[in-house]
């Protein structure tokens, strides 16, 4: 159900995500994706550079949310990536995502003031 995929495998899912989603060609950018009935319905995008993982994006199609799908994708990453630290950044208004990250053991380590058009962003870390 969970696989490492290429961005080209997720073209359809990206359409549901953000119309302006730009597929990064950076060689470090990687994707884990969750498939149901032969269709990708969620992805976790990240880089792992020198054993420091940076989460770039996390998305689950709306109708599949609150079924532990993103939790499974993170657990898959914890198991399969070699890392010393994992970082991510989240808007202070994204309460659902913050709850998820807290549950997964991430802690706020700094605040980027006004980062999203005046809205603060939290930088969170898990060791
Ligand atoms: C944030 C997101 C990835 C969560 O995915 P998900 O598969 O629904 O998350 P899970 O089911 O694994 O959630 C696990 C726990 O996180 C918390 N959580 C997740 N979504 C939540 C919400 N909308 N409100 C409150 N708590 C939430 C809950 O504690 C949940 O456990 P519970 O359902 O038993 O209460 C998904 O809502 C999404 O794609 N949102 C739009 C994109 C986005 O905001 N991405 C994050 C960018 S930083």
pLDDT category at 7 given cuts 50, 70, 90 is confident
39-96 confidence digits (pLDDT tens): 999 999 999 999 999 999 999 999 999 999 999 999 999 999 999 999 999 999 999 9
Per-residue pLDDT at 51? 96
Is 38 found in the same domain as 75? yes
Is 9 found in the same domain as 28? yes
Record the pTM.
0.95
- Nearest atom in ligand 1 to 88's CA: 48
Pocket of ligand 1 from Cβ distances under 6 Å: 58-60, 65-71, 90, 94-97, 99-100, 103
Is 73 found in the same domain as 25? yes
Please report how many Cα atoms fall inside a 13 Å half-sphere around the Cα of residue 62, on the Cβ side: 4
Is 74 found in the same domain as 89? no
- Structural domain count, the chain: 2
Is 90 found in the same domain as 36? no
> What is the torsional sign of CA 16, 123, 6, 70?
negative
């Amino acid at each position: 159900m969970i696989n490492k995929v290429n961005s080209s495998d997720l073209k359809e899912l990206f359409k549901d995500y953000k119309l302006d989603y730009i597929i990064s060609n950076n060689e470090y950018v990687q994707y884990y994706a969750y498939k149901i009935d032969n269709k990708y319905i969620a992805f976790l995008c990240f880089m792992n550079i020198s054993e420091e993982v940076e989460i770039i994006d996390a998305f689950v199609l709306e109708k599949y949310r609150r079924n532990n799908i993103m939790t499974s994708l993170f657990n898959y990453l914890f198991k399969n990536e070699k890392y010393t630290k994992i970082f991510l950044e989240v808007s202070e208004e994204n309460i659902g995502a913050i709850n998820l990250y807290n549950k997964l053991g991430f802690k706020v380590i700094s605040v980027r003031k006004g980062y999203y058009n005046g809205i603060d962003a939290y930088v969170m870390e898990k060791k």
